[in-house]
Amino acid sequence: MTTDFALRRRARRSSIRDWDLLLTFAVASLLVLGILLVYAATRDWFAANNLDPEYYLKRHTINVLIGILLAWAATLIDYRMIRAFAPIVWGLGVLGLILVLVPGIGATVNGARAWIALPGGFQIQPAELAKISIIVGMALILSELQGNQEHPQHHDVLKALAVAAVPILLIVAQPDLGTILIISASVVTIIAVSGAASRWVFGLIAVAILGGFVAVQTGVVSDYQVKRLESFIDPNADPLYTGYQLRQSRITIGSGGLTGTGLFDGPQTSGRFVPEQQTDFIFTVAGEQLGFLGSGSIILLYTIIIFRGFAIARRSEDMFGRLVSIGVVAWFAFQTFENIGMTMGLMPMTGVPLPFLSYGGSSMFACLIGFGLLQNIHLRSSR
């Protein structure tokens, strides 16, 4: 009884002041910078066209505030109790992906049927939230070892892959190549850390490469996406169409020099030369207006998040917490690398937002829930 009382008392003390401070600082800094950069990306163009210059600022701030509440809510229940709700979390994720494909419910944006329209002009993208359901579902299966098992057996890995395969196939039907790549990176990382045989990791990488080739050959990947891949290989192949965004992105980042042109004072951004700059290409605003030093500081903040996430995973007292942590870290790390890499021509252009920085409600909510899960595991694993 004394132990139960101590656990309840400790749970009551698990407030924000007990969170991982360095991780919290890095995420909070990115949220503040994101609000400023989204405003900088949209203010001048909207004002020049007699539109509300604070339109995106207001909506993005609301998304951040809602996301913070979701992050806090994700810390309230002991993550070990979340295991009991993992099938429900996974089922809701799959249900959202199914609804997207239902005529009259799903909405098509930029060629992908990936959105559900909500009242008030808001939209939700279930594929973003599916990242969480896949991570939690796989962690549940791979952490429940039977008898004297020390590592997952082949049938355990197959079950975990089935948990991931159902939502991935639904996302393929949208299609959303960027999200598939991010989820695949998390899946491979979770299996590698679970202690499963290494041939599973190498086999999955080989399957991913083969699957990409087959997708291109069978037309699952659209002609436009293929041309964007060709522009990644040769930026001059189609400079006025599929290569235009990449060329303008590089020019915008390079124009900032060492210290940048100054916040709210970037001619490339004000001229709207980079399409969708407040979402997938928000890093170009930082490159131009904050320069190498400012954009380098942003990369440093992401590095802090990744290293703190690894530290939380290492200190986790059970395999479920370790796998959830490592899945979230892999998600953040790969999505950050993909987004920043594509703005500089180092990665193919796949249209993924930059975590905690880009405009977009679904991405912001999912990322802050992931941040909340890391804090949850940190709170219950502190020694």
pLDDT at 235: 64
Q: Identify which of 201, 175, 186, 190 has the alpha carbon closest to the alpha carbon of residue 110.
A: 175
DSSP string, 287-307: HHHTHHHHHHHHHHHHHHHHH
pLDDT at 206: 84
In whole angstroms, give the CA distance from residue 381 to residue 18: 12
DSSP string, 41-83: HHHHHHHHTTS-TTHHHHHHHHHHHHHHHHHHHTTTS-HHHHH
Dihedrals phi, psi of 115, to nearest 5 degrees:
-125, 155
Q: Which residue has the tokens 């950069």?
A: 37
Q: Strands, DSSP E only, in 93-224?
A: 106-109, 112-117, 123-124
Contact 356, 30 (CB under 8 A): yes
In whole angstroms, give the CA distance from residue 145 to residue 156: 9
Q: What Cα–Cα distance (Å) separates residue 54 from each residue in 60, 88, 201, 356?
A: 10, 38, 47, 19
Model confidence pLDDT, tens digit, residues 191-239: 999 888 888 888 888 887 777 666 666 655 556 566 666 556 666 665 5
Q: pTM value? A: 0.88
The dihedral formed by the CA atoms of 260, 41, 296 and 341, expressed in degrees to the nearest 10: -120
pLDDT at 60: 94
Model confidence pLDDT, tens digit, residues 60-104: 999 999 999 999 999 988 888 888 888 898 999 999 899 888 887
Model confidence pLDDT, tens digit, residues 244-282: 778 888 889 988 899 999 888 888 888 888 887 888 899
Q: What Cα–Cα distance (Å) separates residue 159 from each residue in 29, 139, 168, 172?
A: 39, 11, 14, 20
Least confident of 29-33, 129-133, 144-148, 278-282: 144-148
